[in-house]
Amino acid sequence: MNITQLEYFLAIAQTRKFSTAAEHVYVSQSCLSKQIKALEEELGVELFYRTSSGTSLTAAGETFLDFSRNTLRSHERVLARLAKYTAGAAIRVRIGALPLMSVYDLHAALADYQVDNMGVQIDFYERNQGEIISRLKMDRLDAAILRTDLLSEDEYDWFPIVTDEIVVICSTDHPLARRKRVTPIDLKDERFVVLDEQSAITSRFMSLCRESGFVPNITYTHQRHEPLVAAVSRGLGISILPKKLTQSRNPSGLSCVQFQDPIYTDVSLVVVHGKELGPYTEKLIDHFRKRYPVPSGASPDPTPADRG
Protein backbone atom coordinates (compact mmCIF):
# COMPACT_ATOMS: atom_id res chain seq x y z
CA MET A 1 0.00 0.00 0.00
CA ASN A 2 1.28 3.48 -0.84
CA ILE A 3 0.21 7.11 -0.73
CA THR A 4 -0.55 7.21 -4.45
CA GLN A 5 -3.03 4.35 -4.11
CA LEU A 6 -4.80 6.20 -1.30
CA GLU A 7 -5.03 9.31 -3.48
CA TYR A 8 -6.52 7.25 -6.31
CA PHE A 9 -8.99 5.60 -3.94
CA LEU A 10 -10.17 8.98 -2.62
CA ALA A 11 -10.52 10.37 -6.15
CA ILE A 12 -12.87 7.51 -7.08
CA ALA A 13 -14.78 7.78 -3.81
CA GLN A 14 -15.33 11.47 -4.51
CA THR A 15 -16.23 11.35 -8.21
CA ARG A 16 -17.97 7.94 -8.19
CA LYS A 17 -16.49 7.20 -11.61
CA PHE A 18 -13.17 5.62 -12.57
CA SER A 19 -12.97 7.66 -15.78
CA THR A 20 -13.54 11.00 -14.03
CA ALA A 21 -11.17 10.09 -11.20
CA ALA A 22 -8.45 9.22 -13.73
CA GLU A 23 -8.80 12.68 -15.29
CA HIS A 24 -8.54 14.32 -11.87
CA VAL A 25 -5.31 12.53 -10.92
CA TYR A 26 -3.81 12.72 -14.44
CA VAL A 27 -3.36 9.03 -15.17
CA SER A 28 -4.98 6.65 -17.62
CA GLN A 29 -8.08 4.79 -16.51
CA SER A 30 -6.31 1.45 -16.95
CA CYS A 31 -3.46 2.58 -14.66
CA LEU A 32 -5.95 3.72 -12.05
CA SER A 33 -7.87 0.46 -12.24
CA LYS A 34 -4.70 -1.63 -11.85
CA GLN A 35 -3.66 0.30 -8.75
CA ILE A 36 -7.09 -0.08 -7.13
CA LYS A 37 -7.17 -3.78 -7.99
CA ALA A 38 -3.74 -4.22 -6.39
CA LEU A 39 -4.95 -2.35 -3.31
CA GLU A 40 -8.06 -4.52 -3.02
CA GLU A 41 -5.99 -7.70 -3.39
CA GLU A 42 -3.63 -6.56 -0.64
CA LEU A 43 -6.52 -5.69 1.69
CA GLY A 44 -8.48 -8.82 0.79
CA VAL A 45 -11.73 -6.88 0.25
CA GLU A 46 -13.63 -5.12 -2.51
CA LEU A 47 -13.70 -1.37 -1.97
CA PHE A 48 -16.20 -0.44 -4.70
CA TYR A 49 -19.38 -1.71 -6.26
CA ARG A 50 -18.86 -1.30 -10.00
CA THR A 51 -21.86 -0.74 -12.28
CA SER A 52 -22.36 0.65 -15.78
CA SER A 53 -23.57 3.95 -14.29
CA GLY A 54 -20.64 4.42 -11.91
CA THR A 55 -19.30 3.18 -8.60
CA SER A 56 -20.23 3.27 -4.93
CA LEU A 57 -18.36 2.30 -1.79
CA THR A 58 -18.85 -1.11 -0.24
CA ALA A 59 -19.11 -1.36 3.55
CA ALA A 60 -15.38 -2.16 3.57
CA GLY A 61 -14.78 0.85 1.34
CA GLU A 62 -16.62 3.12 3.78
CA THR A 63 -14.35 1.88 6.57
CA PHE A 64 -11.25 2.34 4.44
CA LEU A 65 -12.38 5.87 3.50
CA ASP A 66 -11.80 7.17 7.04
CA PHE A 67 -8.39 5.51 7.17
CA SER A 68 -7.38 7.01 3.81
CA ARG A 69 -8.43 10.53 4.75
CA ASN A 70 -6.68 10.41 8.12
CA THR A 71 -3.52 8.89 6.64
CA LEU A 72 -3.22 11.47 3.86
CA ARG A 73 -3.93 14.27 6.31
CA SER A 74 -1.18 13.03 8.64
CA HIS A 75 1.17 12.60 5.68
CA GLU A 76 0.68 16.22 4.60
CA ARG A 77 1.19 17.51 8.13
CA VAL A 78 4.44 15.66 8.71
CA LEU A 79 5.82 16.76 5.33
CA ALA A 80 5.05 20.36 6.23
CA ARG A 81 6.85 19.98 9.57
CA LEU A 82 9.86 18.25 8.04
CA ALA A 83 10.21 20.90 5.33
CA LYS A 84 11.72 23.38 7.80
CA TYR A 85 14.73 21.07 8.25
CA THR A 86 15.51 21.08 4.53
CA ALA A 87 18.48 23.26 3.59
CA GLY A 88 17.25 26.46 1.98
CA ALA A 89 13.62 25.50 2.50
CA ALA A 90 11.17 28.22 1.50
CA ILE A 91 8.19 29.40 3.48
CA ARG A 92 5.20 28.08 1.58
CA VAL A 93 1.59 29.17 1.32
CA ARG A 94 -0.54 26.67 -0.58
CA ILE A 95 -3.52 28.26 -2.31
CA GLY A 96 -6.27 26.51 -4.27
CA ALA A 97 -8.66 28.26 -6.64
CA LEU A 98 -11.41 27.69 -9.14
CA PRO A 99 -10.47 28.52 -12.76
CA LEU A 100 -11.82 32.07 -12.51
CA MET A 101 -8.88 34.11 -11.25
CA SER A 102 -8.40 36.01 -14.51
CA VAL A 103 -12.10 36.66 -15.01
CA TYR A 104 -12.39 38.39 -11.63
CA ASP A 105 -8.89 39.94 -11.81
CA LEU A 106 -7.77 38.13 -8.67
CA HIS A 107 -4.29 37.36 -9.97
CA ALA A 108 -3.37 41.00 -9.36
CA ALA A 109 -4.30 40.76 -5.69
CA LEU A 110 -2.25 37.59 -5.33
CA ALA A 111 0.72 39.19 -7.10
CA ASP A 112 0.58 42.18 -4.75
CA TYR A 113 0.69 39.82 -1.78
CA GLN A 114 3.76 38.16 -3.30
CA VAL A 115 5.48 41.53 -3.75
CA ASP A 116 4.89 42.35 -0.08
CA ASN A 117 6.14 38.90 1.02
CA MET A 118 9.03 38.07 -1.29
CA GLY A 119 10.35 35.38 1.05
CA VAL A 120 7.17 33.33 0.62
CA GLN A 121 6.77 30.65 -2.05
CA ILE A 122 3.18 30.42 -3.28
CA ASP A 123 2.08 26.97 -4.43
CA PHE A 124 -0.98 27.63 -6.59
CA TYR A 125 -3.40 24.80 -7.42
CA GLU A 126 -6.31 25.38 -9.83
CA ARG A 127 -9.05 22.75 -10.03
CA ASN A 128 -12.82 22.38 -9.69
CA GLN A 129 -14.78 22.95 -6.49
CA GLY A 130 -14.85 19.32 -5.36
CA GLU A 131 -11.12 18.78 -5.76
CA ILE A 132 -10.22 22.01 -3.98
CA ILE A 133 -12.49 21.17 -1.05
CA SER A 134 -10.99 17.68 -0.84
CA ARG A 135 -7.49 19.16 -0.65
CA LEU A 136 -8.56 21.62 2.04
CA LYS A 137 -9.92 18.75 4.12
CA MET A 138 -6.69 16.80 3.66
CA ASP A 139 -4.52 19.74 4.82
CA ARG A 140 -3.03 19.90 1.34
CA LEU A 141 -4.03 23.55 1.00
CA ASP A 142 -3.79 26.43 3.46
CA ALA A 143 -6.54 28.52 1.86
CA ALA A 144 -8.74 28.47 -1.22
CA ILE A 145 -10.73 30.78 -3.46
CA LEU A 146 -14.11 29.08 -3.90
CA ARG A 147 -17.80 29.65 -4.38
CA THR A 148 -19.26 29.53 -0.89
CA ASP A 149 -22.98 29.35 -1.72
CA LEU A 150 -23.29 25.79 -0.41
CA LEU A 151 -20.43 25.55 2.10
CA SER A 152 -21.12 24.73 5.74
CA GLU A 153 -20.22 27.36 8.33
CA ASP A 154 -19.53 24.49 10.74
CA GLU A 155 -16.67 23.29 8.53
CA TYR A 156 -15.26 26.43 6.94
CA ASP A 157 -14.58 30.12 7.58
CA TRP A 158 -14.59 32.64 4.74
CA PHE A 159 -15.17 36.19 3.66
CA PRO A 160 -16.55 37.22 0.23
CA ILE A 161 -14.23 38.68 -2.40
CA VAL A 162 -16.53 38.88 -5.43
CA THR A 163 -20.30 38.81 -5.82
CA ASP A 164 -21.78 37.90 -9.20
CA GLU A 165 -25.27 37.31 -10.53
CA ILE A 166 -26.27 33.90 -11.90
CA VAL A 167 -28.06 34.31 -15.23
CA VAL A 168 -29.33 32.31 -18.19
CA ILE A 169 -26.89 32.38 -21.11
CA CYS A 170 -28.25 31.85 -24.62
CA SER A 171 -27.31 32.76 -28.19
CA THR A 172 -28.63 36.05 -29.51
CA ASP A 173 -30.99 34.28 -31.93
CA HIS A 174 -32.54 32.08 -29.23
CA PRO A 175 -36.18 32.95 -28.30
CA LEU A 176 -35.13 33.53 -24.69
CA ALA A 177 -32.87 36.37 -25.84
CA ARG A 178 -35.99 38.50 -26.28
CA ARG A 179 -36.96 38.03 -22.64
CA LYS A 180 -35.91 40.43 -19.88
CA ARG A 181 -36.44 37.92 -17.07
CA VAL A 182 -37.35 34.26 -16.73
CA THR A 183 -38.44 31.83 -14.05
CA PRO A 184 -37.00 28.32 -13.71
CA ILE A 185 -40.19 26.73 -15.06
CA ASP A 186 -39.76 28.74 -18.29
CA LEU A 187 -36.66 26.61 -18.96
CA LYS A 188 -38.10 23.13 -18.54
CA ASP A 189 -38.07 22.28 -22.29
CA GLU A 190 -34.57 23.60 -22.98
CA ARG A 191 -31.31 21.74 -23.57
CA PHE A 192 -28.54 22.69 -21.15
CA VAL A 193 -24.76 22.78 -21.24
CA VAL A 194 -23.54 23.32 -17.70
CA LEU A 195 -20.58 23.13 -15.34
CA ASP A 196 -19.93 19.65 -13.96
CA GLU A 197 -21.86 18.17 -11.04
CA GLN A 198 -19.30 19.31 -8.46
CA SER A 199 -19.96 22.94 -9.30
CA ALA A 200 -21.91 25.00 -6.74
CA ILE A 201 -23.60 26.80 -9.66
CA THR A 202 -24.90 23.55 -11.15
CA SER A 203 -25.98 22.25 -7.72
CA ARG A 204 -28.03 25.39 -7.09
CA PHE A 205 -29.56 25.21 -10.56
CA MET A 206 -30.54 21.57 -10.10
CA SER A 207 -32.22 22.46 -6.81
CA LEU A 208 -34.18 25.24 -8.52
CA CYS A 209 -35.36 22.82 -11.19
CA ARG A 210 -36.45 20.22 -8.62
CA GLU A 211 -38.36 22.88 -6.71
CA SER A 212 -40.10 23.80 -9.98
CA GLY A 213 -41.04 20.18 -10.63
CA PHE A 214 -38.79 19.14 -13.51
CA VAL A 215 -35.41 17.58 -14.27
CA PRO A 216 -33.34 19.61 -16.75
CA ASN A 217 -32.19 18.05 -20.02
CA ILE A 218 -28.41 18.34 -19.63
CA THR A 219 -26.59 17.34 -22.81
CA TYR A 220 -23.04 18.45 -22.00
CA THR A 221 -20.95 19.26 -18.92
CA HIS A 222 -17.46 20.65 -18.44
CA GLN A 223 -15.24 21.75 -15.56
CA ARG A 224 -14.53 25.12 -17.16
CA HIS A 225 -16.89 27.80 -18.39
CA GLU A 226 -15.14 28.65 -21.69
CA PRO A 227 -16.25 25.47 -23.56
CA LEU A 228 -19.81 26.06 -22.32
CA VAL A 229 -19.84 29.63 -23.62
CA ALA A 230 -18.56 28.37 -26.98
CA ALA A 231 -21.27 25.68 -27.09
CA VAL A 232 -23.99 28.22 -26.30
CA SER A 233 -22.79 30.65 -28.97
CA ARG A 234 -23.11 27.82 -31.51
CA GLY A 235 -26.68 27.07 -30.53
CA LEU A 236 -26.01 23.74 -28.81
CA GLY A 237 -28.09 24.70 -25.79
CA ILE A 238 -28.35 27.29 -23.06
CA SER A 239 -26.38 27.55 -19.84
CA ILE A 240 -26.62 28.84 -16.28
CA LEU A 241 -23.52 30.82 -15.35
CA PRO A 242 -22.35 33.80 -13.34
CA LYS A 243 -22.68 36.81 -15.63
CA LYS A 244 -19.03 37.91 -15.48
CA LEU A 245 -17.83 34.53 -16.75
CA THR A 246 -19.37 35.34 -20.13
CA GLN A 247 -18.00 38.83 -20.59
CA SER A 248 -14.54 37.86 -21.79
CA ARG A 249 -15.76 35.52 -24.50
CA ASN A 250 -17.56 36.87 -27.59
CA PRO A 251 -20.23 38.86 -25.69
CA SER A 252 -21.72 40.05 -29.01
CA GLY A 253 -22.90 36.50 -29.76
CA LEU A 254 -24.50 35.90 -26.39
CA SER A 255 -27.43 37.18 -24.38
CA CYS A 256 -27.72 37.17 -20.59
CA VAL A 257 -31.21 36.86 -19.17
CA GLN A 258 -31.87 37.46 -15.48
CA PHE A 259 -34.05 35.29 -13.27
CA GLN A 260 -37.29 36.83 -12.08
CA ASP A 261 -35.99 36.46 -8.53
CA PRO A 262 -32.30 37.43 -8.86
CA ILE A 263 -29.75 34.85 -7.73
CA TYR A 264 -26.29 35.81 -6.54
CA THR A 265 -23.13 33.82 -5.96
CA ASP A 266 -20.12 34.69 -3.80
CA VAL A 267 -16.48 33.88 -4.50
CA SER A 268 -14.67 33.89 -1.17
CA LEU A 269 -11.32 33.22 0.48
CA VAL A 270 -11.86 30.03 2.48
CA VAL A 271 -10.02 28.24 5.28
CA VAL A 272 -10.97 25.18 7.33
CA HIS A 273 -12.87 26.13 10.49
CA GLY A 274 -10.77 25.79 13.62
CA LYS A 275 -7.53 25.04 11.76
CA GLU A 276 -4.38 26.67 13.15
CA LEU A 277 -3.06 28.92 10.39
CA GLY A 278 0.55 29.84 9.72
CA PRO A 279 1.59 33.51 10.00
CA TYR A 280 1.85 33.97 6.23
CA THR A 281 -1.57 32.45 5.65
CA GLU A 282 -2.87 34.96 8.21
CA LYS A 283 -1.09 37.70 6.25
CA LEU A 284 -2.76 36.46 3.06
CA ILE A 285 -6.18 36.68 4.68
CA ASP A 286 -5.44 40.17 6.01
CA HIS A 287 -4.19 41.24 2.56
CA PHE A 288 -7.43 40.16 0.86
CA ARG A 289 -9.58 41.70 3.60
CA LYS A 290 -7.94 45.06 2.99
CA ARG A 291 -8.13 44.64 -0.79
CA TYR A 292 -11.82 43.68 -0.74
CA PRO A 293 -13.51 45.34 2.26
CA VAL A 294 -16.69 45.13 0.17
CA PRO A 295 -17.03 42.27 -2.35
CA SER A 296 -16.22 43.34 -5.89
CA GLY A 297 -19.35 43.59 -8.04
CA ALA A 298 -21.69 43.45 -5.05
CA SER A 299 -25.19 44.67 -5.83
CA PRO A 300 -26.44 47.63 -3.79
CA ASP A 301 -27.25 46.24 -0.34
CA PRO A 302 -28.63 42.86 -1.47
CA THR A 303 -31.12 41.41 0.96
CA PRO A 304 -31.06 37.71 1.95
CA ALA A 305 -34.08 37.10 -0.27
CA ASP A 306 -32.34 38.75 -3.22
CA ARG A 307 -29.31 36.50 -2.75
CA GLY A 308 -31.32 33.36 -3.53
Greater pLDDT, 253 or 156: 156
Per-residue pLDDT of 89-124, as tens digits, reads 567 899 999 988 988 989 999 999 989 988 888 999
Burial 65-90 (b: 16+ CB within 10 A, else e): beebbeebeebbeeeeeeeeeeeeee
In SS3 terms, 210-274 reads as HHCCCCCEEEEEECCHHHHHHHHHCCCCEEEEEHHHHCCCCHHHEEEEEECCCEEEEEEEEEECC
Query: In the structure, what pLDDT confidence band is assigned to residue 298 with cuts at 50, 70 and 90?
Result: low
- The Cβ-side half-sphere exposure at 178, using a 13 Å CA radius, reads 3
Chain-centroid distance, C-alpha 298: 21
Mean pLDDT across 207-217: 94
Give the pLDDT band of residue 249 (cuts 50, 70, 90).
low
Of 76-90, 117-131, 232-246, 276-290, the least confident: 76-90
Q: What domains lie within the chain, and their CATH numbers?
A: 3-83 (1.10.10.10), 91-161+266-291 (3.40.190.10), 164-264 (3.40.190.290)
Q: 77 or 286: which carries more pLDDT confidence?
A: 286
In percent, the amount of the chain with pLDDT more than 90 equals 58
Q: Return the amino acid letter for 157.
A: D
State residue 300's pLDDT score. 43
In this predicted structure, which of 17-26, 35-44, 191-200, 220-229 has the lowest mean pLDDT? 17-26
CA-closest candidate to residue 140, choices 89, 197, 88, 71: 71
The pLDDT, as a whole number, for residue 219 is: 94
What's this model's pTM, rounded to 2 decimal places?
0.74
In contact, 168 and 228? CB cutoff 8 Å: no
- Give the residue-averaged pLDDT of 260-266: 94
Give the ranges where the chain is alpha helix by DSSP (H). 3-15, 18-25, 29-43, 59-83, 107-116, 129-137, 200-211, 225-233, 279-291
Q: In this structure, what DSSP letter does residue 56 have?
A: E
Question: pLDDT digit string (tens) for 39-60?
Answer: 999 999 999 999 888 899 999 9
* CA-based R_g, the chain, Å: 21
Q: For position 307, what pLDDT does the model report?
A: 37
Q: Which residue has better confidence, 96 or 302?
A: 96
Angle CA 108–25–38, to nearest 5:
160
Residues in the chain: 308
Query: Is the pLDDT at 304 greater than 50, yes or no?
Result: no
Residue 34: the pLDDT is 94
pLDDT confidence tier of residue 128, bands split at 50, 70 and 90: confident
Position 253 scores a pLDDT of: 81
Using a 10 angstrom Cβ sphere, with 0-12 exposed, 13-18 middle and 19 or more buried, the burial of residue 44 is exposed
Beta partners for residue 96, in sequence order: 125, 144
Mean pLDDT across the chain? 88
pLDDT for 266 beyond 50: yes
Quick one: which of 232, 246, 150, 161 has its CA closest to 199? 150
